[in-house]
């Protein structure tokens, strides 16, 4: 038996709150004394039930306006979660399938690191000192040449490298750092959205995008190590080819026949894995990257 504290103090935060147990107001009472949940209930229905009894969980989700992020917001909302979104465009209320979308949106250009402190202030204000149960770093950019071609390590402009790394890598670090106290209070889960292109050259995805995703995989490991003592889990999901606007028009026709499952994936299939990672069903999973690609890597 070891006797290390379960929840360490945050380094560099003198005077901050000391080691904490999960907030009894939000924590499942059916839990092991160690803090581990023991409930075998379906997490989706459990969260729905808890939400109806006033214990709603909260998710901060980047890039929810379309694609994988939109499907993710919808799934978590169906499970009773409150969703706070961040992306460049103002919220399109007519397209939002979950309630209170408009007032729970922060418009921010994640490529501009100077805009992030203001976005964090707005997020914290919306959280109102309450706990945060999940942060999903989903927004990303994958620029092409003006002719729509893949940008390689030979021809990617410096400005493009910078903006890709700002959105795809730096924003996840800054958001997680900035929301640390709320994530600790919620014993939260962070999910970074990486990609199959982080581990192999892809016919359409460019070099800056691929290297930013490889770095995000590495960052997930580093963060998992650093955040675990505070009760915060950090994992990644790596989609293969998923039917969204980010894909090149030729992707489906060209690549689907090469995928063992003979089709590309849907945003909903990715959202379900993220829900698992943010649920009690994954309470002992951290530092992992789950691949969602119909067998594309086998």
Ligand X SMILES: NC(=O)c1ccc[n+]([C@@H]2O[C@H](COP(=O)([O-])OP(=O)(O)OC[C@H]3O[C@@H](n4cnc5c(N)ncnc54)[C@H](OP(=O)(O)O)[C@@H]3O)[C@@H](O)[C@H]2O)c1
Binding site for ligand X (CB under 6 A): 62-69, 87-89, 108-111, 138-141, 167, 193, 195, 239, 241-242, 244-247
Closest approach of Cβ 206 to ligand X, in Å? Answer: 12
Q: Are strands 82-87 and 189-193 parallel, antiparallel or unpaired?
A: unpaired
Minimum distance from residue 292 beta carbon to ligand X (Å): 9
Contact residues for 121 (Cβ-Cβ < 8 A; gap 6+): none
Q: Is 67 left (phi over 0), alpha (psi -120 to 50) or beta?
A: left
Burial class (CB in 10 A: 0-12, 13-18, 19+), 93: exposed
CA 174 to chain centre: 13
Note whether 271 and 68 are within 8 A (CB).
yes
Report the nearest approach of ligand X to the CB of residue 243 (Å).
7
CB-closest chain residue to ligand X? 67
**Rounded to 5°, angle at Cα 126 from 123 and 132:** 70
The two beta strands, 58-62 and 82-87, are parallel
Asked whether the beta carbons of 67 and 141 are under 8 A apart, the reply is: no
Is 209 considered catalytic here? yes
Using the minimum distance from each CB to ligand X, give the nearer residue, 109 or 289. Answer: 109
Please provide the size of the chain in residues. Answer: 298
How far apart are CB 147 and ligand X at their closest, in Å? 19
Minimum CB distance to ligand X, residue 166 (Å): 8
Helix (H, G, I), strand (E, B) or coil at 150: strand
Which one of the listed residues 98, 209, 230, 276 is annotated catalytic?
209
CA 30 to chain centre: 27
Element (H, E) at 212: helix 207-227
CB of 71 to ligand X, least distance (A): 8
- Cβ proximity to ligand X, 168 vs 279, nearer residue: 168
Largest CA distance in the chain: 62
- Residues annotated as part of the active site: 209
């Amino acid at each position: 038996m070891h006797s290390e504290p379960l929840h360490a103090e945050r380094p560099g935060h003198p005077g901050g709150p000391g080691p904490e147990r999960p907030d009894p107001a939000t924590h499942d009472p059916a839990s092991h004394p160690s803090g581990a949940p023991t409930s075998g209930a379906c997490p989706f229905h459990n969260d729905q039930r808890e939400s109806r009894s006033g214990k709603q969980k909260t998710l901060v989700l980047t890039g929810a306006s379309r694609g994988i992020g939109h499907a993710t917001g919808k799934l978590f909302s169906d499970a009773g979660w409150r969703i706070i979104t961040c992306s460049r465009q103002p919220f399109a209320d007519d397209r939002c399938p979950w309630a209170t979308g408009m007032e729970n949106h922060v418009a921010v250009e994640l490529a501009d690191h100077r805009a992030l402190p203001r976005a964090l202030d707005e997020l914290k204000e919306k959280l109102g000192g309450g706990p945060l149960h999940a942060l999903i770093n989903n927004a990303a950019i994958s620029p092409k040449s003006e002719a729509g071609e893949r940008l390689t390590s030979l021809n990617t402009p410096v400005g493009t490298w910078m903006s890709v790394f700002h959105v795809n890598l730096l924003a996840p670090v800054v958001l997680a750092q900035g929301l640390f106290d709320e994530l600790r209070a919620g014993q939260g889960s962070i999910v970074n959205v990486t990609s199959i292109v982080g581990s192999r050259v892809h016919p359409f995805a460019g070099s800056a995008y691929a290297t930013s995703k490889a770095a995000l995989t590495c960052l997930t490991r580093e963060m998992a190590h650093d955040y675990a003592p505070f009760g915060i889990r950090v994992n990644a999901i790596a989609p293969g080819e998923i039917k969204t606007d980010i894909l090149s028009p030729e992707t489906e026709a060209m690549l689907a026949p090469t995928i063992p499952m003979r089709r590309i994936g849907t945003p909903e299939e990715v959202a379900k894995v993220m829900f698992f990672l943010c649920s009690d069903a994954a309470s002992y999973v951290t530092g992992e990257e789950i691949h969602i690609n119909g067998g594309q890597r086998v």
